[in-house]
Structures are given as C-alpha cells and as structure tokens.
Amino acid sequence: MLRLITVRTVIVVLSVLYISATPHVTHAKNIVIEPAYQTIDIQKGETAQATITLTNNTNTPVTFNLFTLNFTQNENGVVEFLGKDATSYSYALASYISLPQDSITVEAQSKDTVTITINDRQDLSPGGHYAAVVAQAEGVEQVKSATQFTPALASLLLLRKTGGEIFNLSLKQVSWPFRIIHVGYPKSVSLTFQNEGNIHVIPRGRVEIYDIFGRLTYKGVLNTASKYIFPSSRRTIDVPISRVAFTLPVSIDRIIVKGNDSLNKVSYTYQETYVYIHPLFAGIAIVAALLLCYIVFRLKKV
C-alpha cells in the first residue's frame, strides 16, 4: 500500500498523542476532542453530517488548525495515518469531507463544535471508508524536549456507504491448542480474523471447552470491547477464558470457537480435540515415575 508521506503527515503522526481507551473522548492534557470515533451511514446520492466538539480547559484561547487524513489499521489494531491524497488506498475518505473552515478558536475554559459534511460522489464505492478530522493546536506547548511538537487530536470517522456492502469475515487462526497433549490451560486464547469484505465489522462469539463427558469446563466471550476489523485486513483479538467447572485429572477435551459479526451477516466456527492432563496429576505422575525408576534401579543392584 502506497503511503503519501508529507511533512504535515509526519508531524501529525508524531504529535497525535493517543487515541483514548474510552470510545468517546480523545484528549491531550488540557484540550479535548470528542467523540474519539464515530460511525456514519450514507446512501447513494446523499450527504451526511457529523459533529465534533473541541474543549479548551486552559486559561487562554486556543486556535485549532483543522484538516483531514486517511487512516488504516494494522493487525494489532493500531491506527496508521495516511496522506489525504493516498489514491491507492481503496477505502480513503478524506477527499469526500468538507470542513466549514480551516481553523477555529476556542475561548478559555469553553468548548465549540465543528460540523463536517461528507459528500457522496460517483467514485465513492459502497462499503467502508475511513478518515480522521485532525485538530492541531497552535501555541500550546506539549512536549518538553529539544524538539517541540504542538499537540494534535484526531476524531476518527468510520463511514459505511450502503447498497453494496460485502461481508466476508473468517477465522484464520486459533493460538491454542497447538499440540495433541496439553498440561493446564492458558489465561487467554488469541483469535486471528481475516476480513475479505469491503466493510468494517465487529466479530462476536464464544470460546467453549468441553471435557470427555460433554461438560463445559472453560468459557470466554469474544470482543467485549467491540473492536473493529477493517476491510481487506486481519486482526488478532485475545479472548480471556475462565474455568466454570472442575476439570478431570485426564480427559479428551474439545475446544469450540463460534460466532458471527455484529450485524449477523456471516458466521464462523472452529473445533479441535486434544488430550488434557491436569498439572497436579501430571506432577504426581512424574514423581511416581521417577520413584518407580529409582526402586527398580535399587532392586537391580541387590
């Protein structure tokens, strides 16, 4: 994927401090942009609008320069900003966004809103498109170092153009079990999904482990944080699992992973059988085997 690297893009990537773990607010100390991201639907031939709020908690007015950047997402879910004119990126949105102004001044201890417009054009293909509205503050010192960066905050836009979405989510890899015999259980299982469709999706589902008698012994719920998987990309999501019943010393267990996307357009399933040995039982068996070997060795010497 070709990335258009400009001076402004580099500055923004370095100065956008972070996307908050909460789904509603992105902030850099005393300045705040919200929401951190929002999903928008648009139909063919229509326009859509979105509102972004800038809050200035400092004691002086702050001027924000406003512009847009396309972005994508890597396998770990980290946002990667692209140039506005990265035409090789099929899911670009920045060029379809109209900002009411290039800058806005927010008075001290106050907030202001910016309403953006997204215009449907003939070249806006159905499915998902992604861009960030970036607000770069002027005159606010943020980094104490030899090189100063002005803080910039980004509100991410996830657009869905309806009337031609392709849903194609599949489960490509499960991190566990990876051999026929396992001693103990991990704290989590990693699931790697591939999205071959043209729209962002949220995978849902469960991880369940059954013993030889069909009892449910461990379970986990997938994606409680509602993480998105972008089109034409893959993402790995960890699923914590917890014990819900006692486990047998030795058993032939079965792990089942099943679920669907949040819109119930596609489903997936995975199943594997393996031999489970309880760690305590395995330890006792090893000690017993060593003791038996010692006894046999001593008897042979008599």
One-letter amino acid at 229 equals I
Q: What is the pTM (predicted TM-score) of this model?
A: 0.81
Cα–Cα distance between 207 and 135 in angstroms, integer? 41
Q: State the residue range of the domain holding 88.
A: 7-161
Question: Alpha-carbon distance 263 to 261, whole Å?
Answer: 5
Residue 296 lies in a domain: no
Do 26 and 148 share a domain, yes or no?
yes
Instruction: Evaluate whether residue 228 is within a structural domain.
Output: yes
In a domain, 262, yes or no: yes
Q: Are residues 135 and 38 in the same domain?
A: yes
Residue 18's pLDDT is: 36
Q: What pLDDT score was predicted for residue 27?
A: 62
Task: Look at residues 161, 188, 211 and tell me which one is the last residue of a structural domain.
Answer: 161
pLDDT score for 84: 64
Amino acid at 18: Y
Residue 183 covered by a domain: yes
Name which of 221, 226, 227, 255 is nearest 239 in CA terms.
Answer: 221
Q: How far is CA 293 from CA 105, 289, 296, 297, 301, in A?
A: 81, 6, 5, 6, 13
**73 touches 192 (CB < 8 A):** no
Say what the pLDDT of residue 22 is.
Answer: 39
Instruction: Give me the tens of pLDDT residue by residue for the chain, a chain 302 residues long.
Output: 333 334 344 434 434 433 333 345 666 678 999 999 999 999 999 999 999 999 999 999 999 999 999 999 888 888 899 876 666 889 999 999 999 999 999 999 999 999 999 999 999 999 999 999 999 998 655 444 444 456 789 999 999 999 999 999 999 999 999 999 999 999 999 999 999 999 999 999 999 999 999 999 999 999 999 999 999 999 999 999 999 999 999 999 999 999 999 889 999 999 999 999 888 766 676 776 677 776 777 677 66
Do 70 and 181 reside in the same domain of the chain? no
With beta carbons less than 8 A apart as the criterion, state whether 42 and 32 touch: no
133 shares its domain with 199:
no
Confidence at residue 150, expressed as pLDDT on a 0 to 100 scale:
61
Of 221, 48, 211, the residue nearest 131 (C-alpha): 48
| 157 and 139, same domain (yes or no) | yes
pLDDT of residue 286: 72
Residue 2 lies in a domain: no
| Claim to verify: residue 17 and residue 125 sit in the same structural domain | yes
E strand map for 62-175: 62-73, 79-81, 97-98, 103-106, 110-119, 127-138, 152-161, 169-174
Q: Is the same domain home to 157 and 173?
A: no
The answer as to whether 82 is a domain residue is: yes
Question: Is residue 257 within 8 Å of residue 282, measured between CB atoms?
Answer: no
**100 shares its domain with 193:** no
Residue 293 lies in a domain: no
HSE at residue 202, side-chain half, CA atoms within 13 A, is 11
Q: How many domains does the chain have?
A: 2
Q: How far apart, in whole angstroms, are the C-alpha atoms of residue 38 and residue 157?
A: 5
Please check whether residue 302 lies inside any domain of the structure: no
Q: Are 139 and 233 contained in the same domain?
A: no
Three-state DSSP class for 255? strand
Kindly report the CATH number assigned to the domain that includes residue 16: 2.60.40.10
86 and 173 housed in the same domain = no
Do 75 and 157 lie in one domain? The reply is yes
What is the number of helices (H) and of strands (E) in the chain?
2, 20
Which tokens hold the place of 221?
């719920």
> Is residue 148 located within the same domain as residue 182?
no
